[in-house]
Chains A and B, each alone.
Chain A
Amino acid sequence: MSSSEAIRLTVDGITKFDPVFTKPDEITYTVLESPVLTRLMRLRIGEPSPAKLHPDATTSEFEPCFAADGSAYAFIQSRANLNMKLVIRETATGKDAIFDPGGGFAAVRRPSLHPRGERVVFALPAPTGQEIVSVARDGKDRKTLSAGGINNWPAYSPDGKRIAFCSSRLGDFDLWVMNADGSEARRVVKLDGMQARPAWSPDGSRLAFTWNRDGRYFIHAVKLDGSGLVALTDGLDRADYASWHPDGRSIILVGERSGKSDIYRVATA
């Protein structure tokens, strides 16, 4: 499998977002089920049809993320007019903890669970900008980890010690890394065009991310010191939402080809 060869895992062409591996042969993602409803889906790779993760859900859910130890997962739930809450669900019991940003126009997005499920980090709008914030697994002990600018798409490193994210604090959306407590934030690489949605390689040495390069979204990977920048996708109209396979040898992503949105798998070697 070469880096330019994208293998399609879904075939319905329906709008999709947020794919992540939940097992080596299983992914969870979000689908636009109807014009007014997004739904979490689970697909065993190689099987023809996905299953609904929450069959009884009646409101839009999206952006699932999972603790590496499988003990918990989190997602965003649309609950009112421009109001989105973070749900942290215990896998074993189904018990939920909620982080509620408040009433009115208030929302959180883009959660990432600590690999052992200790905390959840996410993007939270604030008067100072859009901040990276974390809460404990019970939805409490809120800590703001960034200060100023539009910050988004946080992702815990595999060891839980660092967070990758994107920030406009120096102008446009760039790729950044900081310690999990918010200290020592630094820009990984300076590129022309928006960077978004970083995803850590399983060994913690590289970040895959979306790059709006010359007007087209590609997935690239880069080492943490900014070296080794390489394109992982080509031949797709849009490549976005990268997530690494646990073995580190491939990623899945949402790709658009011929106007259709599907999940693809490409090699990273």
Chain B
Amino acid sequence: MLEIGSFRSMLHGMASRRAFLAASATPLVRGMLPGAPSRPKAKSVILLWLWGAPSHIDTFDPKPGAPAEIRGPFSTIPTRIPGIRFTELFPKTATRSDQFALVRSMVNFDGDHLKAGSIGLTGMLEGKDALVPNFGSVVARHRGSGHLPAFMSIGRGNPRDVVGPMKGYGGGNWGKNHDPFLVGCTEAGETNIPALQLLDGLSPASLDDRRKLLGEIDRLARTGDQATFDKLNSAQRRAYALLTNPEAKAALDLSREKPAVREAYGQTSFGQSCLLARRLAEGGVPYIQVNWSQYVEAVTPNCDFGWDTHIFNFDLLPDRHGPIFDRVFSALLDDLRDRGMLETTLVVAMGEFGRTPRINGQASRDHWPQCYFSIWAGCGVRGGAVIGDSDKTASAPLTEPVTPAMVGATIMEMSGVDAQARAEFRVLPEARVIHELF
């Protein structure tokens, strides 16, 4: 049962737990009906986490007929979908709109980055004591690791803002062993593993052969550095194990790519990170989260250009955020398609919420969890589908809200974590799959 009326009114503040669960669940899960056509399962999921929250109006849900204080200064362009327009900042994405589905009726349940981020990546409100696991932790636990970790996160660090870290970044109350394995990637495509930074001079670049690495580990284990070795946590031990496997190490090496492929993604950290994500998917990693930035903040000392554009939104988007996303997302789709991987790789792009439809007193846009977008491609997702609709000011969905829990249920279902497995894990047992995507 959906509590649409009370649900909407409560979204302006913190949603009740009851409304949250009701909005995420349905008694009829069409995608799971007996006899429903079987869908291809995702060998890998690539989640593009647009941390900081992109403006939905200035990207994929523009309202060109709205008053100036809502529509903003960008013109709109047609897509391959009749009647559907994006803003002019996403021309490459528009020409590929027949290859992905767009959800315009997303809702979150909190206007705070850290809380909404946790909800966005776990599907659940933060409990009083429990920290629920990230979608990736669930998929990884179900699928298990190969020569690469099953849940890898690409970015400068786990998502956070200037206040602190986001709780839902990893394994939560399942423990740190279920956290993502973090890999950094520079705009030049150099990868690094923060877990290895315990030891000076030990990095993927310096580990040019396995024997050297093993020798270093052996030295730690058997010499006066025993104490240091004993301090290695599970992530660090996984890092060492990973780098002793030639296949795993090769997956992290972007220099093995043809220059034309690297160029297509562009020389930005997000671009090269998405190329790395494709290589990791190729290497069999079940769940890869690519973080647009570590911090939400757009222009703040020591922060890395997140999507939190409370000020100069209409300068940052056409200058940096729009062109980078447009290029990289398009390159990723092309690359996956050209390699025949799109049928077995699920790509999802989203932030934690949208931004205020009405331009704020700083000529920009603030937080808006009441309505935002997500993008889905691959694994049988219907290209050209637009799921849901927002009202004339993009303030609220006109159709059934799509919640983070539904996002999680869909990702998990596609990854083989079916309803029974989710129930056994006690993760999103009642959330429905977004069957409209398929």
The CA of A150 and the CA of B58, in the complex, are separated in Å by 14
| Interface residues in A97-145 (C-beta closer than 8 Å to B) | 105-107, 109-110, 123, 125-127, 129-130
Q: How long is the Cα–Cα vector from A107 to B316 in the complex, in angstroms?
A: 13
Q: What chain B residues lie within 8 Å of A261 (beta carbons)?
A: 267
**Contact A260 B301, beta carbon cutoff 8 Å:** no
Asked whether A125 lies within 8 Å of B263 as measured between CB atoms, the reply is: no
- Measured CB to CB, the nearest residue on chain A to B305 is A35
A168 touches B94 (CB 8 A): no
Chain A interface: which of B72-80, B98-106, B248-256?
B72-80
Q: Give the nearest-CB partner of A241 in chain B.
A: B319
A14-31 CB contact bits vs B (8 Å, 1 = yes)? Answer: 110100000000000000
Q: Which residue of B lies closest to A128 (CB)?
A: B363
**A258-B263 contact, Cβ under 8 Å, with A172-B74, A214-B91, A215-B77:** yes
Stretch at the interface among B38-46, B276-284, B307-315, B390-398: B307-315
Instruction: Answer whether residue B262 sits at the interface, using C-beta atoms and an 8 A cutoff.
Output: yes
What is the CB-to-nearest-CB distance from B380 to chain A, in angstroms, rounded to a whole number?
29
Q: Is the CB of B68 within 8 A of A78?
A: no
A149 within 8 A of B: yes
Task: Let me know if A66 is at the binding interface, CB within 8 A.
Answer: no
A125 touches B312 (CB 8 A): yes
Segment from A39-47, A79-87, A156-164, A228-236 that makes contact with B: A79-87
- Chain A residues, Cβ within 8 Å of B300: 78, 80-83
Residue of B nearest to A150 (CB): B73
Q: Which residues of the other chain, A, contact B359 by a CB distance below 8 angstroms? A: 129, 150
Asked if B299 contacts A78 (CB within 8 A), the reply is yes
Among the stretches A1-9, A180-188, A189-197, the one at the interface with B is A189-197
The yes or no answer to A91 lying at the interface (CB within 8 A) is no
Q: B88 an interface residue at 8 Å Cβ cutoff?
A: yes
The residue on A at minimum CB distance from B310 is A105
Q: When each residue 315-326 of chain B gets 1 if its CB lies under 8 Å from chain A and 0 otherwise, what string results?
A: 100110001000
Q: Is residue A60 contacting chain B, with contact meaning CB distance below 8 A? A: yes
Q: Does B73 contact A215, Cβ atoms closer than 8 Å?
A: no
Contact (Cβ within 8 A) B314 A130: yes
B310 interface neighbour in A82, A150, A193, Cβ under 8 Å: A82
User: A194, B267: Cβ atoms under 8 Å?
Assistant: no
Counting CB contacts under 8 A, is B264 at the interface?
yes
- Per the bound structure, the CA–CA distance linking A78 and B297 in Å amounts to 12
Q: How far is the CA of A13 from the CA of B265 in the complex (A)?
A: 13
**Does residue A244 face the partner (Cβ distance < 8 Å to B)?**
no
* Min CB gap B257→A, angstroms: 12
Contacts of A78 in B (CB 8 A): 299-301
Tell me if A82 and B311 are in contact (CB < 8 A).
yes
Q: How far is the CA of A251 from the CA of B302 in the complex (A)?
A: 33
B303 within 8 A of A: yes
- Given known contacts A106-B362, A150-B363, A258-B263, is B301 in contact with A125 (CB within 8 Å)? no
A-B pairs with beta carbons under 8 Å apart, 30 shown: A14-B187, A14-B267, A15-B268, A17-B319, A36-B301, A60-B299, A80-B301, A81-B300, A81-B303, A82-B299, A82-B300, A82-B308, A82-B310, A107-B299, A123-B312, A125-B363, A126-B362, A127-B361, A129-B363, A130-B314, A150-B359, A152-B314, A168-B73, A171-B68, A173-B74, A193-B75, A194-B73, A194-B318, A212-B88, A259-B266
Given A35-B186, A35-B305, 18 extra CB contacts under 8 A = A17-B319, A35-B293, A36-B301, A59-B301, A80-B301, A82-B300, A105-B311, A106-B311, A125-B311, A125-B361, A125-B363, A168-B68, A171-B75, A192-B75, A194-B75, A215-B77, A259-B266, A260-B263
B positions within 8 Å CB-CB of A? 68, 72-75, 77, 88-89, 91-92, 94, 156, 162, 186-188, 259, 262-269, 271, 293, 297-305, 308, 310-312, 314-315, 318-319, 323, 327, 359, 361-364
| 7 shortest interchain CB distances as A-B pairs | A215-B91, A168-B73, A130-B363, A259-B266, A259-B263, A125-B363, A258-B263
